[in-house]
Amino acid sequence: MKLLVNGTSMDVHSNTLEALLAAQGLRDAKVATAVNGAFVPAAFRATYLLSDGDSVEILAPMQGG
């Protein structure tokens, strides 16, 4: 399946958001996720099914001031 992940087109074999994060090495990372512009809470990632053409954003928290 082809996804747009953080603006980069990718061919992936992951069918859930959680599986995509694991494939990207982010299984235990503290990140925020959105699919097609809609926030997906961590509690729903395991059951959130991805579809061909979805746009996924994975954002890490930043510190600053």
Tokens 């926030």 map to which residue? 39
User: Over the stretch 3-59, which tens digit does the pLDDT of each residue have?
Assistant: 999 999 999 999 999 999 999 999 889 999 999 999 999 999 999 999 999 999 999
What is the pTM for the complete model shown? 0.90
Where would I find the beta strands (DSSP E) of 8-64? Answer: 8-11, 32-35, 38-40, 55-59
- CATH number of this structure's domain 2-59, picked from the four choices 3.10.20.30, 3.40.50.620, 3.40.50.300, 3.30.9.10: 3.10.20.30
**pLDDT given for residue 63 in this prediction:** 73
Domain chopping of the chain, boundaries: 2-59
Contacts 24+ apart (CB under 8 A), 59-65: 59/31, 59/32, 59/33, 59/34, 60/29, 60/30, 60/31, 61/30, 61/31, 61/32
**pLDDT given for residue 65 in this prediction:** 64
pLDDT at 2 over 80: yes
Q: Is 50 left (phi over 0), alpha (psi -120 to 50) or beta?
A: beta
